[in-house]
A and B are shown apart, each in its own frame.
Chain A
């Protein structure tokens, strides 16, 4: 069966450092991979998507990589700020259907 795994531990980092989150999957061939941000008690908000034939995508301080051979996506937040503290979800897309990981909670210390 399909399985999506994100960092099992919460991530605590110092302001200004780079946060790196992983999303690994098995038994799946996604056409797209998306990343969402979720604040406590709120709905997720879309951040970035990357296609299966793309290696890397950037948006401001965010960078996503997608390795279909390793079946892994990395999500980087550079020059992190306390306002980046949230839970980040990866979602795999195939035939318009999304499957979500459980999320990684990031806390950025000032």
Chain B
């Protein structure tokens, strides 16, 4: 079945540690995205990539880093510079392009808790 796989589902981090969240898709989508979701707030865009080896900062990129070495994979690293990393992280993909409806397919999410 085609879809997006995020791992791990739950992750605990000590302050000062970097952690990496995995996102893999087999939909042959060109574009991939990372969002952060906090209670009572809309999804906020962290980073996005429209093509392999290229990515752009979203609205809240500080304290995060990404890579896009393969079309299928878009891992997110939450660095120790992120002041409030406890949140639900969602990876998404779409067919991409510079126009159009850009419907997103989401993964099941990763919940990060800082101890």
Where the two chains meet, the residues of A that have a C-beta atom closer than 8 Å to any C-beta of B are 4, 31-32, 34, 36, 41-46, 49, 51, 89, 91, 93, 95-103
Assign chain B's interface to a size class.
Answer: 20 to 34
| In the complex, chain A residues whose CB is within 8 Å of the CB of B115 | none
Q: Are A4 and B102 touching (Cβ within 8 A)?
A: no
Where the two chains meet, the residues of B that have a C-beta atom closer than 8 Å to any C-beta of A are 4, 6, 31, 35, 40-43, 45, 90, 92, 94, 96-109, 111
| In the complex, chain B residues whose CB is within 8 Å of the CB of A99 | 42
Q: Are B101 and A49 touching (Cβ within 8 A)?
A: yes
C-alpha spacing A98/B99, complex, angstroms? 11
Residue of B nearest to A8 (CB): B40
| In the complex, chain A residues whose CB is within 8 Å of the CB of B111 | 41
Q: Are A43 and B107 touching (Cβ within 8 A)?
A: yes
C-alpha spacing A93/B45, complex, angstroms? 13
Contact of A49 among B42, B103, B108 (CB under 8 A): B103
